[in-house]
Structure 1
Amino acid sequence: MITSERKVDGYDGVSPFPRTATPKPGPGPATRIQVGLTGSIVLLPFVALGFAIWLAWGHGVTVTDLVLAVLLYLVTGFGVTVGFHRLLTHGSFAARPWLRVALAVAGSMSFQGNVLDWVAVHRRHHAFTDRPGDPHSPYRYGTSLRGQLRGLAHSHLGWLFRNDPTPADRYARDVLADPALVRVARAFPALCALSLALPFLAGWAISGGLYGGLTAFLWAGLIRVFLLQHVTWSVNSLCHVIGSRPFTTRRHDRSTNLWPLALPSFGESWHNGHHSDPTCARHGLGPHETDISAGLISLFERLGWVTDVRWPDPGRVEQRRRHEADAPGGARTPA
């Protein structure tokens, strides 16, 4: 379907997005409530980080808190990368129904929005990458220094507070048609509460005291949420501005590979590789590009839990690889 956003003419890849592509001003009451909730989800983990640093200065961090934080980071992180992203957004593989739901639940516990909204926004991002219509492009305000700084802030956090809804009935009809996933989406607030309750209860049970539960809530709850949120948002922002671009992508698409984020993002920061072939189950297409999410999908495949995995095709990878003779910049041969 061709939407009105595709009809924006005259975009040259360097100018600010036309005003016709910006959201309507003046959020209503419902939007103000949503902004308030979003602000709480963003700010509370940040405040918790400052408190945790102060607390650790005098008391350190317990092994229990760190182990719980790592375990929940893995569970919720894979829920986003393998579940929300590679399975539900791009259909990189087919999974058994129970695994689809389990991954959707795990991703919902990351505090990054319900599964319907997440899938819809990401598909819209791919439909209009770095062009008018992209909900979180760092090029919204142009390519000048001031525009880039403003664009980075927008792509990392600012887009969350804009009155720019992405309709699930347009971009996520398949998810909307799955009753189990709709129930998971509706349970998002409860799953967020569970995401914080689990480390608190585990910390209390393991330590035998309330203080142990509170420190686990802090480190394995709020700070774990903070870290995963900002790693994910860095793929939206940094992985469109800095890094390498070894593969051709659609016109104006400036997605990059950023190796320092490869481990904490579970392979999502091989973003240029992903944008060159969005349905591929592996994003790290080079021999030394670690992609932990692809490794988990491979394990699921060996266990018989997933099928029809779209692994990289060597010929297709080579066809999309940029060579020295290729023109640099965002204008490339359309995919």
Structure 2
Amino acid sequence: MTTVTDESGTVAPVNGGRARERPEDEFEALAAPYRPEILALCYRMLGSIHDAEDLVQETYLRGWRSYDRFEGRASLRTWLYRIATNACLTALEHRARRPLPTGIGAPSSEPEGDLSAVPPEILWLQPLPDSLLAVDASAADPASVVAARAGLRLALVAALQWLPPRQRAVLILRDVLAWRTAEVAQLLGLTDTAVNSLLRRARTRLADVAPDADDVCEPSQAEQREILDRWAKAFVDADIDALMELLTEDAIWEMPPQPMWFQGAEMMRRLLSFRLRQFGRYQRMIPTSANGQPAFAVYRVAADAQAGTLSAGSLQVITFRGNRIAKVSAFRTPSLVGLAGLPLEIEA
């Protein structure tokens, strides 16, 4: 029997020593429904939507080039996961983990200080707009939709970045996507014993760095909508008292790419008072979602904006605890608003 090494690095047999011929468009048609969950996998591994999209492109290019040698011994979905996971593991050999500000130091005590510092050497964790996981319900099966949406909360993805790459892959496949041990072992070319060992170490490490990373109690949808509406109005109106009523006593505010972060009622009041009153009121908050969490695109009058135009300033990702807001991750990168499918400029 003749064998070939496909683009995923897997040695596969070829019937009769010849590659099978298939229509060029067959791979795209069959693989397209899995793209959102492959994107979610790469994002969980890398913590960057831009890097994840690059790795998805690489995965599909490798798959397309190797499809004539695909034997079907595993499902196409499993084959794509193998290619994507191996591509991510290779990429992570040369990349540092992506943190959030809350993951690299103590909270700051000077909310009135210079908040413009951006350390160029740090690559921050990015949010994943839910719009990028939109799937064609008629083309994707329910398992694909669930896999794309599961285990994407910002705290969990941030915690995953603390794990070594192979532990990260095992934990995602086993605990987030609920693959069986034997399936993970086959995908990664490991024994069942090795997979279980990696999983134990990953769970222990995750419990150490973020014991509550994915343990979130949220209000009902109706309650959440009412709280978010109140939050948006108070933020636009610079109503500090109203904002404080919606925050937990130990609430956290972070705003990558700035490295500082703030915690507690006193710091929240000082920070919000300084920012909203010093820099003027924000003019519009458009609701959206990212990482399966409520979010807002925040628009304001920019110094270089045309008259009557508001520019995107940040993407706020909201974390609830009960019926209060426990954390605001305000990503001050306007392009993320565009990735969420919203305009970078709107009419005032």
TM-score where L is the length of structure 2: 0.24
Q: Which has the higher strand share?
A: 2
- Give the greater-gyration-radius structure (CA): 2
Q: Which has the higher helix share?
A: 1
Larger RCO, structure (CA 8 Å, separation 6 or more): 1
TM-score where L is the length of structure 1: 0.25
